[in-house]
Structure 1
Amino acid sequence: MAEARCPASCGEFIQGWIGGSEKLVSCPIDWFSTVEVRDGAKLPTERLRMRQILERVVAYFGYPAALANNLSIALESTVPVGKGMASSTADIAATAVATARHLDEILDEATLAALCVQIEPTDSTLFRRLTLFDHLHAQTIASCEPAPALELLLLESNATLLTEDYHRQKREAALMSHADELDRAWHLLQRSCLQQNTRLLGMAATLSAVASQELLAKPMFTQLLGLIEEFDLYGLTVAHSGSVVGLMLDSSKHDCQKILWQIKHSAMSACYPRQYLVKAVKGGVR
């Protein structure tokens, strides 16, 4: 038996047209999918893509395909599905690493990313370092220094969107039209990590969130930006292919209860009926 867990995300710090293709830097948070792989029969509750990645890992290490039929997958996760929180990436990345561990093998991050992308577009939460990642072709472009310490007030919408549905849209022209903003956001993100400057990180994320409105608009976006200004928060993350939003803050400096009160006593509460205070964490499968 072997276990692994991978963090979810509060959307992305940035996502858009950077360096000739669409790329992203995920915002990993302290919510996790935990997967256990052991000898045994397939469980009826298994998720299809977790079984698919298990089979690919077995094949990658040269084991007979029949071996996969004798492995069981168990998942423990409270990460909402279809909200842009990298739930599927967390599930399949944790499954891949747990499978490798069960086989007494080691998966490096580049191989893990390549295997996951064969299943679906993949978030960069599977990397230990903040990574600018081509989530469609598994190209790792650059890694950053660790991000400055950060909390987020995660706002969950009732809306769901499958990642593959988002990627079926014709998006290239709109993405390319915001290339300059995303290039600036990427440079700001790198500076924020080098200087451990949360303000710069917030500027980068907000630039990307504003550009994303043309592709997948978030409701009450002007009001959300108003909260950033009113409470002097760092910025805003969004799920560029989902529905969650994150207000970037420090609960020791910002009045979370007052922010929550304002959300719950406004039209924003209908759009984002659930709110959670979460911490940004390092990525990577544990």
Structure 2
Amino acid sequence: MLRQDRRGVSHRDVSPAAAAHNALFATARTDAPPMVYSGVCHGTLGELWQGPYEQDGELHIGLISLPVRKYSWMHYLPGEHGQIELDLAGKDKCRRAIELYLQHHGKSLPPGRWNHDSELPLGKGMASSTADLVATIRCLDRVFGLQTPIATVADLLRGIERSDSVFLDRYALYLSGRQQVVRSFDAPLRLHACYIDEGGTVETEKLAEPLLRHYQRHLPAYRRHLQRAIDAFERVDPLAVCECATHSAQLAQWVTPKIHFESLRQRQHEFGADGIVIAHTGSLLGYLFVTRPDAARMGELSSFFRGLGRQCRFAETGL
């Protein structure tokens, strides 16, 4: 119903119930959720290849990581009351990444609160530490509206730890100590994995020297194997890549042996697996498949690994 006020302007009468509904709706529209800035980074399921790479007359630890669709997250809530020492307790490297990032970009953080979450267990060979750092850098980029170049990300990581190549969007031959991309591959390889954790944790830094000594002793074999791995990626040949992963795992048995490697090797063809993958400086190992196993095969794999006293996990890998 329309009515006119003293100025002759028409208005529609609104019932009390309708007025209350409109007021509630107006409040809901203005009561928006708080702004949250987030950074995300995938982890790895070990390496398809790890070995020595010769550069400038020195041996370095090189690797071609196997990306896995499991992630680390870092969130920042501006305006919230927080203390970084408490918000990121136990995440000293992430706090160092924040410090280095702010110094590099000449920025200061507004008051706020940090929050971290991850699907990547620590010390297992899933690049959990590096994924945390990259997620932190990406979160800060969101806060400041920046896009830190890949080379700068590598520089920031270099000041913190020996890292993995999880900040890249492709497979790469990467020097973990120098944080240097030697060669990248455009191969869009998707593989399926069934893996177990043999238990315990591994500190990557402590293994650097034993690995380099091992590489020096077996340098010719590693040189041949690296060339085969590069050729497999250049051909985009998933079966050859899986074979290279198996060979790399076999070579690693001399320095970082996996308890169940031989058991997996003996049953590989029975399960139709195309390769074996390990975390060379971690506690994971498992089978690789070019084609995803069906439900019956997944059950057979689960029974096999349960018989070894381990619970297996299935994951899709690749970028």
Q: Verify same fold: TM over 0.5.
A: yes
Match of 1:2 among 37, 42, 58: 37
Q: Contact 2:189–2:318 (CA<8 Å) still a contact in 1? A: no
Q: Does 1:274 align with 2:318?
A: no
Amino acid paired to 1:181? A
Match of 1:173 in 2: 213
Match of 1:192 in 2: 232
Match of 2:283 in 1: 243
> Could you say if the C-alpha distance between residues 15 and 71 of structure 1 is closer, same or farther in structure 2, counting changes exceeding 3 Å?
farther
SS of the equivalent of 2:116 reads strand
SS of the equivalent of 1:251 reads coil
Match of 2:195 among 154, 157, 162: 154
Match of 1:56 among 85, 100, 114: 100
Q: After TM superposition, what 4+ stretches of structure 1 lie above 4 angstroms from structure 2?
A: none
CA–CA distance in 2 between the matches of 1:243 and 1:259?
A: 19
1:48 deviates by 1.3
1:53 deviates by 0.4
SS of the equivalent of 1:10 reads strand
Q: Does 1:234 align with 2:274?
A: yes
Q: Contact 1:3–1:37 (CA<8 Å) still a contact in 2? A: yes
CA–CA distance in 2 between the matches of 1:42 and 1:212?
A: 43
Choose between structure 1 and 2 for higher RCO, CA contacts under 8 A separated by at least 6 residues.
1
Match of 2:157 among 100, 116, 139: 116
> Could you say if the C-alpha distance between residues 57 and 243 of structure 1 is closer, same or farther in structure 2, counting changes exceeding 3 Å?
same
CA–CA distance in 1 between the matches of 2:252 and 2:212?
A: 12
Match of 2:139 among 84, 87, 98: 98
> Could you say if the C-alpha distance between residues 12 and 220 of structure 1 is closer, same or farther in structure 2, counting changes exceeding 3 Å?
same
Matching of residues 120-135 of structure 1 within 5 Å:
120-135=161-176
CA–CA distance in 2 between the matches of 1:279 and 1:230?
A: 21
- Stretch of structure 1 that moved more, 5-14 or 105-114: 105-114
> Could you say if the C-alpha distance between residues 77 and 53 of structure 1 is closer, same or farther in structure 2, counting changes exceeding 3 Å?
same
Q: Does 1:262 align with 2:289?
A: no
CA–CA distance in 2 between the matches of 1:256 and 1:187?
A: 33
SS of the equivalent of 1:79 reads coil
Q: How many residues align?
A: 273
> Could you say if the C-alpha distance between residues 212 and 14 of structure 1 is closer, same or farther in structure 2, counting changes exceeding 3 Å?
same
CA–CA distance in 2 between the matches of 1:103 and 1:146?
A: 33
Matching of residues 60-71 of structure 1 within 5 Å:
60-63=104-107, 67-68=108-109, 70-71=111-112
> Could you say if the C-alpha distance between residues 69 and 180 of structure 1 is closer, same or farther in structure 2, counting changes exceeding 3 Å?
farther
The alignment's TM-score, normalised by the length of structure 2, stands at 0.79
> Could you say if the C-alpha distance between residues 274 and 110 of structure 1 is closer, same or farther in structure 2, counting changes exceeding 3 Å?
farther
CA–CA distance in 2 between the matches of 1:88 and 1:71?
A: 23
Match of 2:121 among 54, 63, 80: 80
Q: Contact 1:131–1:143 (CA<8 Å) still a contact in 2? A: yes
Amino acid paired to 1:5? V
> Could you say if the C-alpha distance between residues 215 and 176 of structure 1 is closer, same or farther in structure 2, counting changes exceeding 3 Å?
same
> Could you say if the C-alpha distance between residues 38 and 45 of structure 1 is closer, same or farther in structure 2, counting changes exceeding 3 Å?
closer
CA–CA distance in 2 between the matches of 1:196 and 1:108?
A: 27
1:122 deviates by 0.5
Amino acid paired to 1:10? L
CA–CA distance in 1 between the matches of 2:151 and 2:222?
A: 24
CA–CA distance in 2 between the matches of 1:170 and 1:148?
A: 31
Amino acid paired to 1:279? E
> Could you say if the C-alpha distance between residues 88 and 69 of structure 1 is closer, same or farther in structure 2, counting changes exceeding 3 Å?
farther
Among all aligned residue pairs of Structure 1 and Structure 2, give the percentage whose two residues are the same amino acid. 22
SS of the equivalent of 2:159 reads helix
1:14 deviates by 0.8
Amino acid paired to 2:100? R
SS of the equivalent of 1:230 reads coil
SS of the equivalent of 1:107 reads coil
CA–CA distance in 2 between the matches of 1:145 and 1:69?
A: 39
Instruction: Provide structure 1 residue ranges, at least 5 long, that are not aligned to the other structure.
Output: none
1:45 deviates by 4.1
RMSD: 2.0
